[in-house]
Chains A and B, each alone.
Chain A
Amino acid sequence: DGGITQSPKYLFRKEGQNVTLSCEQNLNHDAMYWYRQDPGQGLRLIYYSQIVNDFQKGDIAEGYSVSREKKESFPLTVTSAQKNPTAFYLCASSLPGQLRYEQYFGPGTRLTVT
């Protein structure tokens, strides 16, 4: 079955620790995205990557880092510099070209930092 997997579903960390969220897709999509969702707000773009070894900052990139060493994988690191890391994180991917507007979402990771 093709799809996007994110692990773990729930993640708990102490303040000051870096944490890496996993995102893997087997849809052969070129583009991948990371979003953050907070209560009462729309999803906001953290980082996106249109091709392997390339990525761009989204609207709220501060305190986050990413890598795109493989087409299938786009891990997100939440660093200790992120002031409010507790949130629901969603990964998505899309095809290139005209089909790029439709994004496929993973199940999400809920991160709690105390």
Chain B
Amino acid sequence: KNEVEQSPQNLTAQEGEFITINCSYSVGISALHWLQQHPGGGIVSLFMLSSGKKKHGRLIATINIQEKHSSLHITASHPRDSAVYICAVSIYNTDKLIFGTGTRLQVFP
């Protein structure tokens, strides 16, 4: 079993839909990251959080430390949101990141 599991693996949506991507982890962490990888391959950090909720534009990330679960929400989705979204965790008291396998999102007009 992977230490970081994401669901779903693939997701398609119509423009304007509300999207949720889930991440569960099984190790002690210092922080959880949501990353975005565009088709070209470069990765951008969207959020780093260790508790509660963060919002940036149409993106919202939440984390429940007790349940070891995080969600990434996209409101009013747009075709430019099409990308792979990766959940990663910073292992407690180390500099190491463990990555999920990613969720491929396609948003159609």
> Footprint of B on A, CB under 8 Å?
31, 40-45, 48, 50, 88, 90, 94, 100-108, 110
> Footprint of A on B, CB under 8 Å?
2, 4, 30-31, 33, 35, 40-45, 48, 86, 88, 90, 95-102
Q: A15 to nearest B CB, angstroms?
A: 23
B42 and A105 contact, CB distance less than 8 A: yes
Q: A25 to nearest B CB, angstroms?
A: 14
Question: Which residues of chain B come closer than 8 Å to A103, judged between CB atoms?
Answer: 33, 45, 97
Give the CA-CA distance A45 to B88 in the complex, in Å. 12
A107 and B95 contact, CB distance less than 8 A: no
The prevalent SS among residues of B at the interface is strand
Give the CA-CA distance A31 to B86 in the complex, in Å. 21
Give the CA-CA distance A43 to B68 in the complex, in Å. 20
Question: Which residues of chain B come closer than 8 Å to A41, judged between CB atoms?
Answer: 101
Q: B109 to nearest A CB, angstroms?
A: 27
Question: Which residues of chain A come closer than 8 Å to B2, judged between CB atoms?
Answer: 42
Give the CA-CA distance A76 to B5 in the complex, in Å. 29
B40 and A42 contact, CB distance less than 8 A: no
Q: B19 to nearest A CB, angstroms?
A: 21
B101 and A31 contact, CB distance less than 8 A: no
Give the CA-CA distance A94 to B31 in the complex, in Å. 14
Q: A86 to nearest B CB, angstroms?
A: 14
